[in-house]
Amino acid sequence: MKTRLQFKIFVVAVFFTALLTSPGFAQKYDGTKATVKSAAVPANVILQVKNHSGDLKISTSAVNNVTLNTKIEISGNSKEDVDKVTAAIGNLKFVLRGNILEIDTRFYKNMNTINNRSTITLLNGDKVNIKDFKISHELQIPKSAAIELDNKYSDIEMQPVDGPAKFVIYSSKLNAGDFGGDVSIESKYSKIRIEKIKGNAKFDFYDSNLELESSNNLTLKSKYSKYIIKKTGKAEIDSYDDKFNITELSGLNLISKYSDFESTSALNDLKLDLYDSNVKVKSAVNASFNGKYCELHLGDIADLQISESYDNNIYLGNVKRMVVGSSKYSLYELSAVTEISMNDMYDENLKISGLNNDFKAISVNGKYGQLLVNAGSVPFRTDFKIKYPKVTLPENLKISKQIKDDSNLELVTGDAGGTIKINGYDMKVVID
């Protein structure tokens, strides 16, 4: 009986020893540390900041001084490990060489996390076991400073700066005020909001979102991203599967696959090289297009040059001049025209709702398509040479030449106005 009792006591003791030494009951050590690093800097200072740990707030002042305030709250398995981490925080890189100040907020080489517990290898090679930590930084800089920031896995809050900025951002959020100079941003998996960029903007985005109030000119390379921009100058965009909403811009050069672009702006210059993309703008003075499988809503156009169109739907307003090199399987709908030349049409559908009072000419060379024109009261002439024609014209047109057999038609009509000239094969022509 005594032996059994001793055995039970032994089992209970072993159980509680294991329980108390298990991870859930291991002793917990907490620590906090705040550090301040500061340096007087020249007026033309360039800040090179690497931040891969902790949220970052950047404020500005008129003083030529840079101050970094860092705070860490940490929980670890031992006091020794906690002390090692807090000591590492005090050794963050903060080095001024000439007019370049280098700042690096990372205090470890790598970190492995399993079941909410992290093994961290510090920069000096020590390994520590940490349950949890929270680190944040506040950086005060001269408003005139130029800043180069490499940021990962954290949020950035930034007050307006006058100098230029260059950012590399990964899996982060950036909320920034105005920039007085040029801005360059490389971004992956991030969300960015910027007020005004008074200089030029250059972006390289991948799976990121941008909200921008305004910039000067914009150069952009992008994949899988979304943009809401209120105002920019000329935009040079290389896009793949993106969505753009730019309220106002002066010009656009867009190379795109699988993207959507929309603007309510009247453009001076519009250049489109597209594949399976959609573009909508208010109007353009000078425009050019080359593309396949697209839908365009371009509004009024003074001059439109189309080098090659394949299976597109093109909707236009008042067109003063349009020249098409080669076009297949496309739809064109125009509100009114002055002059059109379509040199090589194949199975096209061209619908023109009206002729301008200064109408000059419509010239079409094609096969298997149709031309529908509502001429209204605007006078016009015709000059047709069509094999296998299907032609409907107003009865009051004066015929000056007509040669017709079972499969061919040569027809010249009218005595005033611009000329509608067609050289076609198996085409339908209806003019009202």
* pLDDT at residue 11 is higher than 70: no
Give the pLDDT score at 291: 98
Give the pLDDT score at 28: 73
Q: Which two tokens stand for residue 50?
A: 């690497």
Contact 190, 173 (CB under 8 A): yes
Instruction: Domain count for the chain, please give it.
Output: 2
The answer to the question of residue 351 being in a domain is yes
The answer to the question of residue 279 being in a domain is no
Return the ∠ at Cα 252 (arms to 250 and 257), rounded to 5°: 155
Residues 6+ apart with CB under 8 A from 389: 408, 409, 424, 427, 429
The answer to the question of residue 229 being in a domain is no
User: Pick from 131, 159, 187: which residue ends a domain?
Assistant: 159
The answer to the question of residue 254 being in a domain is no
Give me the mean pLDDT over the 181-193 stretch. 98
Give me the mean pLDDT over the 175-189 stretch. 98
The rounded percent of the chain whose pLDDT value lies above 90 is: 83
Residues 426 and 291 in one domain: yes
Dihedral sign, Cα of residue 394, residue 399, residue 405, residue 408: negative
Give the pLDDT score at 21: 46
The answer to the question of residue 262 being in a domain is no
Give me the mean pLDDT over the 111-126 stretch. 85
* pLDDT at residue 193 is higher than 70: yes
Higher pLDDT, 148 or 116: 148
Q: Which amino acid is at 353?
A: S
The answer to the question of residue 261 being in a domain is no
Residues 153 and 296 in one domain: no
Residue 143: count of CB within 10 angstroms of its CB: 15
Which of the listed ranges 10-24, 114-128, 154-168 does the model predict with the highest average pLDDT? 154-168
Query: How many angstroms separate the CA atoms of 254 and 229, rounded?
Result: 16
Residues 6+ apart with CB under 8 A from 11: none
Host domain of residue 58: 27-159
User: Pick from 132, 159, 186: which residue ends a domain?
Assistant: 159
* pLDDT at residue 150 is higher than 70: yes
Of the pLDDT bands very low, low, confident and very high (cuts 50, 70, 90), residue 20 is very low
Give the pLDDT score at 53: 82
Q: What is the 3-state secondary structure (H, E, C) of 8-62?
A: HHHHHHHHHHHHHHCHHHCCCEEEEEEEEEEEECCCCCEEEEEECCCEEEEEEEC
The answer to the question of residue 43 being in a domain is yes
Among 102-111, 153-162, 348-357, 419-428, the minimum mean pLDDT is found in 102-111
* pLDDT at residue 254 is higher than 60: yes
Query: How many angstroms separate the CA atoms of 256 and 276, rounded?
Result: 8
The answer to the question of residue 356 being in a domain is yes
Give me the mean pLDDT over the 376-384 stretch. 96
- Average pLDDT of the chain? 93
Contact 201, 219 (CB under 8 A): yes
Give the pLDDT score at 239: 98
pLDDT in tens, 200-227: 999 999 999 999 999 999 999 999 999 9
Among 4-18, 70-84, 119-133, 377-391, the minimum mean pLDDT is found in 4-18
Give the pLDDT score at 27: 64
Give the pLDDT score at 302: 98
* pLDDT at residue 10 is higher than 90: no
Residue 116: count of CB within 10 angstroms of its CB: 8
User: Pick from 159, 189, 217: which residue ends a domain?
Assistant: 159
Q: Which two tokens stand for residue 290?
A: 């080359």
Q: Which two tokens stand for residue 147?
A: 């800043």
pLDDT in tens, 293-319: 999 999 999 999 999 999 999 999 999
* pLDDT at residue 81 is higher than 70: yes
Give the pLDDT score at 403: 94
Q: What is the 3-state secondary structure (H, E, C) of the chain?
A: CHHHHHHHHHHHHHHHHHHHHCHHHCCCEEEEEEEEEEEECCCCCEEEEEECCCEEEEEEECCCEEEEEEEEEEEECCHHHHHHHHHHHCCCEEEEECCEEEEECCCEEEEEEECCEEEEEECCCCEEEEEEEEEEEEEEEECCCEEEEEEECCEEEECCECCCEEEEEECCEEEECCECCCEEEEEECCEEEEEEECCCEEEEEECCEEEEEEECCEEEEEECCEEEEEECCEEEEEEECCEEEEEECCEEEEEEECCEEECCCEEEEEEEEEECCEEECCEEEEEEEEEECCEEEEEEEEEEEEEEEECCEEEEEEEEEEEEEEEECCEEEEEEEEEEEEEEEECCEEEECCECCCCCEEEEEEECCEEEECCCCCCEEEEEEEECCEEECCCCCCEEEEEECCCEEEEEECCCCEEEEEEEECCEEEEC
